[in-house]
């Protein structure tokens, strides 16, 4: 039975579609996550709600920070110079054609070891804005990834504009168009160190052990070699890596330490 496909043109209409039916409809933004799962036979939807006509594709910024619409394309985020680590993370995903339609919100739902933009957002303490039949709400991204509310659609993500030293490093089997073996998104700001990783755990996550090892590190200051080694070792110890066709868990654990070390060594380069 072919799926019913809806393209609501207002948030109200979208919420109405979420309320109907016993089963939650499949939510689709750019289609790069959903269409692939459908092609692979991993997803056989009966109803699909497409977000592309809701105007959720804007990036706005003010003194408080940056708000990224959930349907913002990775191509657009990759060109957003005001948030260099987010731009670098977006540019690291796939190739130019994928980035035209893939969205920031969709990256939150891409199965590991995808999630490079998600990791960069975690390093920026992103807050997720959602709306659904239960109304509008928000949640720190870290909590959202652990347990997301059902029948709530992500409409945007907010990050603060507070100054920070950042470093992003993605290790894949190729220099481009490659799934992560390990990706590190690191930020040292007023709120403290943030070390967010793809591939080191079962989903994009911050390494509490690495962040503890980096306690006291200051924005803009070079981190000492001893502290870098401690953070890298802490990640290798804490890691619970996934194994797949891209890399074994053993290799990911080894590379998590290497990638974190290199990312910390290049903190502040080019700033």
Of residues 42, 72, 38, the one with CA closest to residue 55: 72
265 forms part of the interface with another protein (CB under 8 A) = no
For 228, the enclosing helix (H) or strand (E) is helix 225-238
Q: How far is the CB of 73 from another protein (least distance, A)?
A: 9
Q: How far apart are CA 66 and CA 158, in angstroms?
A: 6
Total residues interacting with another protein, rule: CB under 8 A: 31
C-beta closer to another protein: residue 4 or 221: 4
Q: Which of 11, 13, 65, 98 binds another protein (CB under 8 A)?
A: 98
Identify the DSSP state of 111.
P
Binding of another protein at residue 35 (CB under 8 A)? yes
Closest contact distance (angstroms) between CB of 100 and another protein is 5
Contact mark string toward another protein, 99..138, x via CB under 8 A: -xx-------------------------------------
Sheet order of strands, 180-189 included = 164-172, 180-189, 192-198, 205-206
What is the closest distance, in whole angstroms, from the C-beta atom of residue 8 to another protein in the complex?
A: 12
User: Is residue 223 reached through a cis peptide bond, with omega within 30 degrees of 0 on the bond before it?
Assistant: no
What gap in Å lies between CA 52 and CA 172, rounded to an integer?
A: 30
177 lines the binding site for another protein (CB under 8 A): yes
Site membership for another protein, residue 48 (CB under 8 A): yes
Minimum distance from residue 98 beta carbon to another protein (Å): 5
Residue 94 within binding range of another protein, rule CB under 8 A: yes
The span from the CA of 246 to the CA of 175, in Å, is 14
Measured CA to CA, the distance from residue 258 to residue 271 in angstroms comes to 22
Provide the binding-site residues for another protein, judged by CB under 8 A: 1-5, 7, 28, 30-32, 34-36, 38-40, 45, 48, 50, 52, 75, 94-98, 100-101, 175-177
């Amino acid at each position: 039975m072919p799926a019913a496909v809806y393209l609501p043109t207002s948030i109200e209409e979208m919420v109405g579609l979420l309320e109907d039916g016993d089963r939650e409809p499949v939510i689709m933004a750019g289609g790069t996550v959903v269409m692939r799962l459908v092609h692979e036979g991993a997803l056989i939807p009966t109803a699909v709600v497409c977000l592309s006509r809701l105007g959720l594709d804007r990036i706005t910024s003010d003194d408080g920070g940056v708000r990224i619409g959930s349907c913002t394309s990775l191509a657009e985020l990759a060109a957003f110079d005001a948030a260099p680590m987010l731009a670098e993370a977006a540019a690291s995903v796939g190739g130019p054609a994928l980035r035209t339609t893939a969205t920031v919100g969709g990256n939150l739902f891409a199965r590991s070891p995808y999630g490079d933009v998600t990791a960069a957002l975690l390093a920026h303490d992103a807050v997720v804005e959602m709306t659904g039949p239960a109304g509008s709400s928000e949640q720190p991204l870290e909590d959202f990834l652990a347990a997301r509310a059902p029948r709530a659609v992500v409409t945007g993500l907010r990050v603060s504009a507070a100054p920070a030293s950042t470093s992003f490093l993605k290790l894949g089997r190729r220099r481009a168009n490659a799934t992560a073996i390990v990706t590190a998104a690191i930020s040292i700001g007023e709120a403290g160190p943030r070390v967010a990783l793809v591939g080191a755990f079962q989903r994009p996550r911050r390494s509490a052990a690495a962040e503890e090892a980096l306690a006291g590190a200051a924005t803009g200051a070079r981190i000492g070699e001893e502290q870098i080694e401690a953070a890298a070792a802490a990640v290798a110890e804490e890691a619970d890596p996934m194994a797949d066709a891209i890399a074994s868990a053993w290799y990911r654990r080894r590379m998590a330490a290497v990638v974190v070390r290199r990312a910390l060594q290049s903190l502040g380069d080019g700033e």
